[in-house]
Every structure is written in C-alpha cells, then in structure tokens.
Amino acid sequence: MATVAQILTAAPIAANLASTAIQNGVMFGNRPLDNQLHKKILSTYLIINKIYENSGIVGETDATGLITINSTTGTNLEALVNDPLEGSISLGSYTKQVGDTTASILATSIAATLNANAYNYLVSAALGVISITAPNGRGATMNTGNRLSVTATVVAETRARVFLSPSRISTGTVFSIVVNDPVLGITTIATYTQQAGDSTEAIFIGNMITAINTNIYGYTCVTYLANTAFYIYATVGLGATINGNVGAVTWSGGSNTDNFSGGVTAQSLIDNTLTQFSGGVTEVPPTTALIKCANYLWELEGPYGIRAGRYLGITGGQVSPVSPPFSPYPIEFYVTADTLIPTGSSTVTLNGSNGTPDLRGYNLAFYRGTFLQGQLDPGGGGTYCAWNRVTGVFTLLGGYAPNFGAAVVSELFQLNPYL
C-alpha cells in the first residue's frame, strides 16, 4: 500500500488519467458517471499536500561516519559503534594482508569485512575513505556522542632466534653464518676464520659472536652459558615470518644448524583518522489525520492512482487502505460501433486497460433493453451473460442465429456494478 507521500505524488497523474478517461467517454457511455472525478482528486490533493508540506514531515536520513585510512602502517583494525538501539557493537575486525599495498586497497579490504556485519550498517570505501552508514531507525541520535571508534589488538614483537653451538675445527677454517631470511632469501650474514688464538671453545665462540654482530642485516648474536653456544636473533620486523627458517654455521665439511622459532609479529592499529557520524535526520511521520485523509484520496484516485503508481514505480508503504464508500456509477448506452460493447461484439474486458473502466472486484447487474439478464442459460433462445469479477471479462451469451447474443445496433445496455 502506498505511503502518504506516494499517494500525493500519484494524485496529479491520477487526476490527469481520470480527465483523459472522461474526455474519451470510456467510462460513461451516454450517461456520465462522475465527470467531476478529476477535479475531486486534484482539489483533495491540493488540500492534503498543503498541510503535508507545512507539517514538518520529513523522512529519515541515515547518518554516516568515516574512517580515513592514512597509510598502510599498522596491522589491524576493529570498528566499534555505540548504537542507540543495539548498544556497543563491533562491525568487524580486519588484519592487513600481503596484498594491501596501498591505503586505498587496504580501505577497500577493511570495508568488505565490516560490511558483513550483523547490524545492517552499510560499509563501503572509495579513495581510501571507509564510509559507514547507520541503519534505519537511528536518525539524528547517531549525530551525537562520538559513537564511532576503532581499536586494535596491540602486540609487541618477539624476535625469533636460533641456537647454535659450533666447535673449533682448525686454524684457518672459514665459518659462514647463514640464515634463510624471508625477505632476502638465503643470506650469509657473516664469516669467521678460526684464529690461532682460539685456544679454547669459549674464546672461539666469543670471537665468532663478535664477528656475527658486525653484520649489516640487523641480526644480533648473544652468548649462551659462558660462550659455550650462542643465539642469533632475527632482524627486527620479521616477527613470526622467519619461524621455521634455518639458521646455520657452515664450514668446509660440516655445519651446525637450527630453525628460527619463537618469533611473534607485532600488531598495531592501522593508521587512520575518524570522522564521527553526522547527517542523520530523525523521521517525523505523518499524523493520523493526514494518513486518514491520504487514504481517502487514494480511494478517490481509484484505478487511476494505481496506474499512476505503476508509472512512478510506487511499491510498498505503511498506509492501510480504507473500504471504498461507493460503487462506480452504472454504465448505460445504446449500442453503436463506438460504444463500450460495439455492434456485433459479444465480449469486453472491463479491467481498466484500453480505456475501459476497471470493474474488477464488483458484482455486475446487466440490463439488456431494460430487462435484467441472468448468468444461467434460460433456454429457448433467451439471452444471458457471464461476468468474471476477477478478470473483468464480460460476455454476452444465448440468443438466436446469426447474432447469438452479440450486441445489436441501437440496443439499450446498462451495466450496473455493485459491491
């Protein structure tokens, strides 16, 4: 059923359609039914529209909040809303992926995740700006109270490490310290040549630690138990990505290896700027009196309002219909080649199409030459008719050859619709 606004939008068109139908004489035959209908529709519309426009009636506008992604810095983001109806809710959480190489791509990825929220918030992104539109029913209440916020799971980085304990071989032996770096690949970060002065394992390990700590890749070497072994810590920033990769000390004819482990990637809030919800407008609905009068107008518009609604694409709404107070007037005419049922015709569809009146839903009493016609065959060549009030198909039946009930010129026909 149409809303008040829709009824008002359709009314001028309905009045025009009614006027056209009147001019075509389709509805009236020789006897006008209501040749003032278009004026009644239009005048009723003018009154209601004036009151409607001055009543401060407004539809709801949904508020919109923004999250602008400034850069790809940070790893995750969770959007939170203090919803006036739902309370504190999360629209979803997103963790940055390898493919999020620009702020714009990252914003699009976040928006796709947030848009899958269970609270009917619409989330989209364009040019690095995530737009969050509140659902219906919140109106202007979204505009106050800093309702949009973001948070993140913040975790400090733990550097992965390998545990190595090479032993001396012989003076002059070259030891290579090699790691499988997730960024650089297999990389020799340092070399150490065993010295004649490496008279003990502790001295040898100590010298190797010193050599490793001169590397340019950010790996750090730390002694273990008085230089009996050492740890090599991965470069800051690699986090968990290096876990499982090998770290080794190799020499001609041997190696000492371990896999990096214990690395934890740091997590932080994705670099963003918030813009709180704004632009929400709370609906001011029509008063009961306006709805009642609009329904009256809708009934007045009748099939022309429905047809106007079709033109305007009007569907749905909240106004309940009221029962029509009147049946259409009778249609009465003498049969000619131009009447609703022309000479020689035995059927017409009264469904509002092709300029016919829409009598669907009504019962129909048909008078032929002032005599009421039944819908059962009286036999003996008597005429009768058939009326389908669902489809609007009206059929003349019975009679003698050659007409068999078809309309004969100058016959008096009266179609009398009633509820």
Partner 1 sequence: MPISPAFTVSQSIVDTANLTFSDVSSGSATLTTRRIYILNSSGAYVVPTGTTTSYIVWPYSDASIEVTLPVDIAQSCNVTVQWYNGVTLVTELTQAVEWDLQQWLFAFGLLQTQTSQPRIVQDTQYWPDTWTFLTNLILSESATEDMADIYSAQSSLDSNEFIMSNSQNNF
Residues that bind partner 1 (CB under 8 A): 36, 39-40, 43-44, 46-48, 50-51, 54-56, 289, 292-293, 295-296, 322, 325-326
For residue 206, the tally of other CB atoms under 10 A from its CB is: 16
Q: Which helix (H) or strand (E) holds 45?
A: helix 37-53
> What CA–CA distance (Å, rounded) separates 13 from 20?
10
Shortest spacing between CB 321 and partner 1, in angstroms: 12
Residue number, 47 or 127, with CB nearest to partner 1: 47
CA atoms within 13 A on the CB side of 138: 26
Shortest spacing between CB 14 and partner 1, in angstroms: 16
Bridge partners, 284 (sequence order): 58
> What CA–CA distance (Å, rounded) separates 104 from 96?
12
Residue number, 34 or 411, with CB nearest to partner 1: 34
Of 303, 161, 142, 299, the closest CA to residue 229 belongs to 161
Residue number, 43 or 353, with CB nearest to partner 1: 43
Phi-psi domain of 47 (left: phi exceeds 0; alpha: psi -120 through 50; beta: other):
alpha
DSSP calls for 71-115: -S-SSEEEEEEEETTTEEEEEEEEE--TT--SHHHHHHHHHHHHT
Shortest spacing between CB 40 and partner 1, in angstroms: 6
Residue number, 284 or 372, with CB nearest to partner 1: 284
Residue number, 294 or 396, with CB nearest to partner 1: 294
Residue 206's alpha-carbon distances to 178, 188, 226, 275, 321, in angstroms, are: 18, 19, 9, 56, 93
Shortest spacing between CB 289 and partner 1, in angstroms: 6
Residues 62, 136: contact at Cβ < 8 Å?
A: yes
Residue number, 40 or 360, with CB nearest to partner 1: 40
Shortest spacing between CB 298 and partner 1, in angstroms: 11
Shortest spacing between CB 36 and partner 1, in angstroms: 6
Residue number, 323 or 354, with CB nearest to partner 1: 323
Residue number, 39 or 168, with CB nearest to partner 1: 39
Shortest spacing between CB 303 and partner 1, in angstroms: 19
Residue number, 48 or 150, with CB nearest to partner 1: 48
Dig out the tokens for 229 from the structure. Answer: 């072994």
- CA 212 to the chain's CA centroid: 58
Residues 304, 21: contact at Cβ < 8 Å?
A: yes
Shortest spacing between CB 115 and partner 1, in angstroms: 40
Residues 6+ apart with CB under 8 A from 50: none
Shortest spacing between CB 20 and partner 1, in angstroms: 20
CA atoms within 13 A on the CB side of 345: 16
Over its C-alpha atoms, the chain yields an Rg (Å, rounded) of: 43
